[in-house]
Each structure stands twice: as C-alpha cells, then as structure tokens.
Amino acid sequence: MEEKSGPMEKIAILIETRQGEIKPSLYGVITAAQDAEHELLALAFGADTARFADQLKPYGIHHLVTITAPSARSFSNPDNRARAIIRAMDHFDIRTLFALTSLAGKDLLPRIAARLDAPLVMDCLAVNLVDSTVEKPQFSEKTIATIRVTGHHRIFGIRPNMIEPKTMPVETETVVFNYQGTADDRLEVVETRQGKSGAIDLSEAEIIISGGRGMKNGENFQILQECAQVMGAAVGASRVAVDNGWVPHSMQVGQTGTTVCPKLYIACGISGSIQHFAGMKTAGTIVCINTDPDAAMMQQCDYGIAGDLFKIIPALTRQLKAHR
C-alpha cells in the first residue's frame, strides 16, 4: 500500500468487535464512508483480526490494517489505543476517521480528536464527504443540524443501525502495523463485567425489549431477560422502572437515558410519554404491548397488542424457543 501522498484520499474505519466478531452495526459505518473517490482502510486491533478481510471485502475496504503491539495488554488502556490509532493514521496518511458512536467510540474518539486537535462529530446520521458536512440530531431529536467540519483531520462517530449496509465489492489487502510507541501504564482495565441489560449495549442493539411501570417490580424483568436471550435482544426500561429501583439507570431509554435506534423495539407496559418516545422514535419497527388500547404508545407504534404483558411475553418466548 502506498504510504503518504497516495493518489486517492484515504479514509479509515475503526473496527469494533463483540465476542471476537465484527459488530453488525459496523457495516453501516463502512457504508457511510463508501464512495468511489476514496481509498478505504479498516483499522483493527490484534493480529487475529486479519481473518476479517473476507468479511470486509464485499463492503469496499481496500486495506485491512491490523494494529499489533509488543504487549497485547497495553491496548486494554484506551489512551494507548488512541495513540496507536493516531500513529497508524499518520503512517498511512489518513486524515478522516469513521467509527461507531458506541460506548467504546465515546471513550476513544474524543481522546483521538483532542490529541490531533481535530473536529469530532458524534451521533452522525449521514456524512457528505464532498462538502464535508454531517447531519446530527439535536434537542432530543427535535431538530437535525447540518454541521460543516474543517481542519486537517476529521473524525465522525456514526449512530448505530441508522445506515443500511450496502455492498461495494473490492479486493482487500491485509497490512500489519506494529505499534512501537511507549505504552502509558498509568491506567489498566483489570476486569470488565456484564451489566444487567445484557451483553449487547443498548445504544447499538438491533432488537430491544423494554419494560415500564406495567412490569410492577424488578423481579418481573426476568421474563423480559428470558425473551431477550432467545431473540438476541437487549433489555431496556422506562424512567419509572429506574426511579423505582427495579433496574439500573444504564437500562433507561429516553430523553434522560439512552437514545436507541434498533431495528425492532418492543415496549411492554410503557405508556409512551414524550420523554420516553424521544429516545426510541427512530426505531425501525415499534411493537407495543399494553392493557390500555388508548395509551399513547399504542397510537405511535407499528403493531399494538392490547393485552396483559404477563401472558403475552411468556407466550412469545415459548413460541420463539419452539421455532429456533
């Protein structure tokens, strides 16, 4: 691969993995960066990520750069990851970086932007590379701002699940970049534990099943957990469920919780307040299970099931298990 002053501008996409595999929402990020005028590079941590080349080929990634370091442990420190990415960007003359607006992205991208003194826009819905503008929701999704970024570098965090992945097949070459920088050992992640909402981060989940006051207590969330496990979903909640101490705040969806954008959102015993709706209204399909057919969520959803969630959810779980 040509380093520095190549014919086409290079754009990098930071690969994120879950349980050793590329996160499905990452393909939408690649699609946001795709165009015929640029050379696309994927940056991935660890020598074992070389196996991703076949998965990235259909999406227009010309080069997969696997970033390695003498001690794999040094990459558990997000500051070291940021330094390694900056070195790789400099080495390959990359001035534009795309990544997911995920928990990891929110941790990493500001570190990179601060070190590069680069403009950073998180939660982008669309990026126009030609005029260097992005679209981003503001004020609890009430407005969409178009923001122009200028500067030597540009960094974009893309909202998960907003952009439908499109293929653009090319040949993908794998390149190893050995990061030799000094490791910052002031911070080390010693343990990562799974939160109650499950292994899937709410903001990136493709399917979310959420419970509200209608769940009646914290123990009853177990029926949502069981259903979520069968569907590969994350479990969310309304603020009432959080304020009552039934579930942690990390599970709250809405204006003062997490903004989510799943393909499927199932609201159980949630009335549909404007504050809750603000956090999930961009979901692809909304299903509402509520005993009150006149609840606001029943009017706003794609499919409403008027009934008792304590009968419907276990029946749904049984059916899903039977058809697995």
| C-beta closer to ligand FAD: residue 12 or 240 | 240
Nearer to ligand FAD, 133 or 250 (CB): 250
Kindly give, in sequence order, each residue whose CB lies less than 8 Å from that of residue 312, ignoring residues fewer than 6 positions away.
Answer: 289, 305
Considering only 74, 238, 259, 282, the residue that binds ligand FAD (CB under 6 A) is: 238
For residue 104 the two structure tokens come to 């990891």
Build a one-symbol-per-residue string for 197-216: x at contacts with ligand FAD by CB under 6 A, - elsewhere. Answer: ---------------xxx--
Return the structure tokens found at 96.
């534009």
Site string for ligand FAD, 137-176 (x = CB under 6 A): ----------------------------------------
Q: Is 220 in the site for ligand FAD (CB under 6 A)?
A: no
Stretch that binds ligand FAD, among 8-16, 94-102, 177-185, 234-242 (CB under 6 A): 234-242
* CA angle, 229 then 232 then 236, to 5°: 75
Q: How far is the CB of 244 from ligand FAD (least distance, A)?
A: 9
Number of residues that bind ligand FAD (CB under 6 A): 26
Instruction: Tell me which residue of 129, 177, 126, 122 sits closest to 155, measured CA to CA.
Output: 122
* Binding status of residue 309 toward ligand FAD by CB under 6 A: yes
Nearest to 235 by CA among 8, 68, 244, 246: 246
Interior angle at CA 123, CA 164 and CA 87, nearest 5: 95
Of positions 40, 84, 163, 240, contacts ligand FAD by CB under 6 A: 240
CB of 258 to ligand FAD, least distance (A): 8
Return the DSSP state at 217. Answer: S
> Quick one: the chain helix, strand, coil %, rounded to 5?
30, 25, 40
- Axis crossing angle, helix 221-231 with helix 309-322, rounded to the nearest 10: 30
- Our finding on whether 252 is near ligand FAD (CB under 6 A) is yes
Among 141, 273, 284, 320, binds ligand FAD (CB under 6 A): 273
Q: How far apart are CA 29 and CA 254, in angstroms?
A: 24
41-80 residues in contact with ligand FAD (CB under 6 A) are none
Interface with ligand FAD by CB under 6 A: which residues? 212-214, 238-240, 252, 254-257, 269-271, 273, 275-276, 279, 289-292, 295, 308-310
